[in-house]
């Protein structure tokens, strides 16, 4: 199959929906002689911050001289963004060839029971592991898709497991309490392994309990690392850090928001553990790697008049972080919002968090089958905002917002990474690399 055929095949697997469990991915990877065993790995779970933390770790390991595979989800503009080697996406030709192989294995192993066919995410995970093995990467930085314990990525044997933070999400799959969700995410912890977590409160207690049960060493980021925020610019955040191994006088990250500082500190904690294990990381490489990280769609500022800020906050925890940034930054002019969200998210709470800062909102639909219909949101939104409009497309939403905004105002696009992707596409972005 060619590249177009490969994308069509993968997209066709979406019909099998979301299915947790490791049986399918084990069968797939066994057919390719366990490609995930050919590289060392760091496994990253959590509610928010997984992608940014993975990006920081990718930067640090690359700065240390390793060949690094990075697997994240979802993508913004191009499926190939999910599977990077040394910062470069898998090529169209490589994706086509590997998908042909994976499709052949799926046809051979699952043809007698098509309803148990691998899902889109299971196939994508197998592709990533196979690509990393073929490219002989030294390290894989692997982001969990959903939860942890039963996620397709959880066939790894990582050097370090990472749990960024934990909030209520996907309760239909993970449980209805912070403790149960934390337990699912802590399922990536290995017996006598090493784990780093930025969780707090009851969630951290649950992670700690499971770490003790498994005899794992736990680094509690919020307790064992001290941070002093030094400043912010459009180029990102600067902070001083007292780590477990040393003090870092001034570290810079090219992403905005104090929550990104926490994600960066989590990555530093992992790097210090790897340094203890004998891997050549060190202060200079940590500093260089943090500064080189990229994570589009997270408080991404588009220079324009009015200015446009794109952020993929997709749940209440992400929206709280976004609101904290907006309250602290106090951008000049008014703030107008373009909001598109998936229907299974707590969108009413998300809208409520924006209420004190926003008077006008344009509702639109994310480019996803799971997208919430904006007209269904409008009735609730009208109780929060003075002006509510509905747009059928992102192009129309941007036009509406620009018509409402003065040159010094800010248009915030948020609610979902799918919404962020639609905005970047409408603004003329065709590639992130």
Whether 230 contacts 238, CB under 8 Å: yes
What local confidence, expressed as pLDDT, does residue 112 receive?
60
Tens of pLDDT, residue by residue over 373-391, are 999 999 999 999 999 999 9
Residue-averaged pLDDT of the chain: 94
Alpha carbon 260 to its chain centroid, in Å, reads 12
Residue 220, token pair as written in the block: 């509690």
Q: Where are the domains of the chain?
A: 3-292, 300-426
Tens of pLDDT, residue by residue over 106-164, are 999 987 665 688 999 999 999 999 999 999 999 999 999 988 999 999 999 999 999 99
What local confidence, expressed as pLDDT, does residue 353 receive?
95
Tens of pLDDT, residue by residue over 284-312, are 999 999 999 999 999 999 989 999 999 99
pTM beyond 0.85: the answer is yes
In degrees and rounded to multiples of 5, residue 175 shows phi and psi of 110, 165
Nearest to 296 by CA among 101, 104, 82: 82
What local confidence, expressed as pLDDT, does residue 369 receive?
83
What local confidence, expressed as pLDDT, does residue 169 receive?
56
Give the separation between CA 326 and CA 301, rounded to whole angstroms: 13
Q: pLDDT band at 168, cuts 50/70/90?
A: low
Q: What percent of the chain has pLDDT over 70?
A: 97
For the beta carbon of residue 373, count every other beta carbon within 10 angstroms: 11
Within this chain, domains 3-292 and 300-426 share the same CATH topology: no
What local confidence, expressed as pLDDT, does residue 19 receive?
80
Tens of pLDDT, residue by residue over 354-372, are 998 998 999 999 988 889 9
Residues 62, 66, 69: CA angle, nearest 5 degrees: 75
Homologous superfamily in CATH for domain 300-426 = Mur ligase, C-terminal domain (3.90.190.20)
What local confidence, expressed as pLDDT, does residue 176 receive?
60
Residues 322, 325, 329: CA angle, nearest 5 degrees: 145
Q: What is the greatest pairwise CA distance in the chain?
A: 61
What class is the 3-292 domain?
A: alpha beta
Q: What is the dihedral of CA 41, 42, 45, 50, to 10 degrees?
A: -110
Tens of pLDDT, residue by residue over 67-105, are 999 999 999 999 999 999 999 999 999 999 999 999 999
What local confidence, expressed as pLDDT, does residue 113 receive?
67
What local confidence, expressed as pLDDT, does residue 146 receive?
86
In this prediction, residues 237-244 reach a mean pLDDT of 98
| Sign for the pseudo-dihedral over CA of 138, 37, 266, 80 | positive
Nearest to 3 by CA among 127, 134, 135, 119: 127
CA atoms within 13 A on the CB side of 389: 20
Give the separation between CA 304 and CA 309, rounded to whole angstroms: 10
74 CB contacts (<8 Å, ≥6 apart)?
A: 82, 417, 418
Range in 165-174, 213-222, 383-392 the model is least confident about: 165-174
């Amino acid at each position: 199959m060619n590249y177009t055929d490969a994308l069509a095949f993968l997209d066709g697997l979406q019909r099998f929906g979301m299915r947790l469990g490791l049986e399918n991915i084990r069968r797939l990877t066994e057919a390719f002689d366990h490609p995930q065993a050919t590289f060392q790995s760091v496994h990253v779970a959590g509610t928010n911050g997984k992608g940014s933390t993975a990006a920081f770790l990718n930067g640090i390991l690359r700065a240390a001289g390793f060949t690094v595979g990075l697997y994240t989800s979802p993508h913004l503009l191009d499926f190939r963004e999910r599977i990077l080697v040394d910062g470069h996406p898998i090529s169209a030709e490589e994706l086509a060839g590997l998908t042909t192989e994976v499709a052949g294995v799926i046809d051979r192993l699952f043809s007698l029971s098509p309803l148990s066919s691998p899902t889109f995410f299971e196939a994508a995970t197998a592709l990533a592991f196979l690509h990393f093995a073929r490219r002989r990467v030294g390290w894989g930085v692997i982001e969990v898709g959903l939860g942890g314990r039963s996620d397709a990525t959880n066939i790894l044997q990582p050097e370090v497991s990472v749990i960024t933070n934990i909030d209520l999400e996907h309760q239909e799959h993970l449980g209805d309490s912070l403790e149960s969700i934390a337990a699912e995410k802590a399922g990536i912890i290995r017996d006598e392994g090493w784990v780093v977590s930025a969780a707090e409160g009851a969630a951290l207690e649950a992670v700690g309990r499971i770490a003790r049960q498994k005899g794992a060493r736990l680094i509690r980021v919020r307790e064992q690392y001290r941070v002093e925020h030094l400043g912010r610019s459009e180029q990102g955040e600067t902070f001083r850090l007292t780590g477990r191994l040393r003090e870092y006088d001034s570290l810079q990250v090219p992403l905005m928001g104090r929550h990104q500082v926490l994600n960066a500190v989590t990555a530093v904690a992992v790097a210090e553990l790897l340094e203890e294990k004998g891997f050549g990381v060190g202060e200079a490489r940590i500093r260089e790697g943090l500064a080189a990280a990229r994570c589009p769609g997270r408080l991404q500022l588009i220079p324009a008049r009015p200015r446009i800020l794109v952020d993929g906050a997709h749940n209440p925890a992400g929206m709280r972080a976004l609101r904290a940034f907006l309250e602290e930054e106090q951008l000049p002019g008014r703030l107008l919002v373009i909001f598109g969200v998936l229907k299974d998210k707590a969108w009413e709470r998300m809208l409520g968090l924006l209420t004190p800062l926003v008077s006008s909102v344009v509702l639109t639909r994310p480019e996803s089958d799971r997208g919430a219909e904006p007209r269904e949101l409008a009735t609730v939104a009208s109780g929060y905002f003075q002006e509510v409009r509905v747009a059928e497309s992102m192009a129309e939403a941007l036009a509406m917002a620009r018509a409402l905004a003065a040159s010094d105002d800010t248009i915030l696009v948020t609610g979902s990474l799918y919404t962020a992707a639609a905005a970047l596409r409408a603004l003329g972005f065709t590639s992130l690399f």
